[in-house]
Amino acid sequence: MDKPDWLETTDFHTIDARKLEGFFLPQIIQKSKTLANGSGLKVVQSFEPIPLYGVMEKEGWRHFSEKISDEEFHIYFTRSEEKARESKRSVHTGRKIPVVIQSATPVVYPVILRMLQSPELKARLEVTELKIWQETEKHLGWIVSGKADISFSAVIASANLLGKENDVKLATVSVWDNFYMVTRGYRAQTFSDLKGKKIHMPLFHKAPPAQVTSYLMRRFGENPEDYRFVYGQPFGRPEEIAAQLINGEIDTALIREPEVSYALQAGKDIRIAFSYSELWKRLKPNSHGLPNAGLVFKGAFVRENPQLVQLFLEELDAAIAWVKQNREEAARLSYRAMGRSLAEIRLFLQRVNYTNIPAVDVQDELRDYLTILEEKVARKIIEKADELFLEKEFFVNAFAT
């Protein structure tokens, strides 16, 4: 591919993503927002960051990628001449407030669908867009750009974005206990049983699943360097890993819900070796488990609609309680929307752990978890807790029990 003319005429700010800690996408997106008109962004990475292209394109950027070697790629971004994609929000009337809701994972789909049945929310909200991402990282672009008013997001991704520069608030931690080591054709109960196997991992080698794996291995007396980890290109996708396990292409993988349940429902001599949350609780007996995913509000949405935020929190807690008490009905409500069989979603809802807790009430657990993943973020939780978490007064009526 020929180099575009704009490559020679643009002043590029360079980010070496190989040196960034944790998830690099939000840091790059945030930097792109600060660049003056006419400036460009050059990203250096050890692999081609294909998911970044779609995220940046939606923000009005075009790119050119250059492979320097098998372990070095240079990607150049400049503002597209075309208009950035316009918001799909429709004009609202009466008391209804237009909102964009998104989730980085399908795990909360049954809860969201139940919430949208609420007469109170229907009377107050006009959901102009509901997006459940298969490519998890793409939801970050919607948070950083301010497109999404309400997001169900991984805790580490949310924590990386927390603060005044992104104007978001972490409200609750809703999903705990979500990662499992799964095998096919053999039994395993401990990490040592996996030696000699190729362990297929989601995302990439610096992402939270890999970091938590390394931490747990060391705490239970194992050296991660003694194990063989395999990552997809550019990212390991949970649904692809589960499909490979079901098809017999691989025999060992770390996967999340709901893909774990899909694999178990398929049979094929697929078993759970152990749960990361069980290991975590052995180390931290008073913990609720691994704090996987939480609810994030855009800061401006909270300030402009405080009563609606309170109502949303109440309905979220009520929806989770309903799903846990009515798993069969919840499965029938959501299996078509999730694109899976009723049996798969029924099993998933029997296994998933929805425990909705105000983030401000589990700061110690969040700090413990985030310290493993990224110490700088954990320190931010300590230093700026008042800015980062949704204030306690929003939970006066919600979580009353």
Angle, vertex CA 134, rays to CA 131 and CA 138, nearest 5? 70
Instruction: Kindly report, residue by residue over 2-29, the tens digit of the pLDDT.
Output: 788 888 888 899 999 888 765 567 678 7
Look at residue 376 and tell me whether its pLDDT is greater than 80: no
Q: Is residue 91 included in any domain, yes or no? A: no
Task: Choose one of 79, 107, 141: the last residue of a domain.
Answer: 79
Q: Which domain holds residue 391?
A: 97-177+290-395
295 and 161 assigned to the same domain: yes
172 and 321 assigned to the same domain: yes
Q: Is residue 170 included in any domain, yes or no? A: yes
Percent of the chain with pLDDT over 90: 47
Residue 258: asked if its preceding bond is cis (omega within 30°), the reply is yes
Q: What is the pTM (predicted TM-score) of this model?
A: 0.75
| Predicted confidence band of residue 133 (pLDDT cuts 50, 70, 90) | confident
277 and 347 assigned to the same domain: no
Q: Is residue 121 included in any domain, yes or no? A: yes
237 and 312 assigned to the same domain: no
Q: Is residue 330 included in any domain, yes or no? A: yes
| Pairwise CA distance, residues 189 & 194, whole Å | 9
- Write the DSSP assignment of 343-361 as a string of letters: HHHHHHHHH--EEEEEGGG
Domain at 54, CATH number: 3.40.50.150
What pLDDT is stored for residue 321 in this prediction? Answer: 94
246 and 381 assigned to the same domain: no
| Pairwise CA distance, residues 334 & 109, whole Å | 7
Q: Is residue 115 included in any domain, yes or no? A: yes
- Residue tagged 């040592």 (tokens): 192
Q: Is residue 390 included in any domain, yes or no? A: yes
DSSP code at position 90: P
| Predicted confidence band of residue 242 (pLDDT cuts 50, 70, 90) | very high
Q: What pairs with residue 69 in β-bridges?
A: 72
Instruction: Kindly report, residue by residue over 274-302, the tens digit of the pLDDT.
Output: 999 999 999 999 888 888 889 999 989 99
112 and 164 assigned to the same domain: yes
240 and 302 assigned to the same domain: no
| Pairwise CA distance, residues 365 & 46, whole Å | 33
Domain count of the fold of the chain: 3
What pLDDT is stored for residue 145 in this prediction? Answer: 82
383 and 240 assigned to the same domain: no
210 and 264 assigned to the same domain: yes
Q: Are 178 and 353 in contact (CB under 8 A)?
A: yes
197 and 323 assigned to the same domain: no
| Predicted confidence band of residue 89 (pLDDT cuts 50, 70, 90) | very low
Q: Is residue 89 included in any domain, yes or no? A: no
What are the CA-CA distances from residue 100 to residues 4, 51, 298, 376 (Å)? 36, 21, 10, 30
23 and 54 assigned to the same domain: yes
Q: Is residue 251 included in any domain, yes or no? A: yes
Domain at 223, CATH number: 3.40.190.10
What's the sign of the alpha-carbon dihedral 170, 255, 132, 374? Answer: positive
| Predicted confidence band of residue 91 (pLDDT cuts 50, 70, 90) | very low
275 and 202 assigned to the same domain: yes
Q: Look at residues 33, 114, 109, 54 and name the one whose alpha carbon lies nearest to residue 312.
A: 114
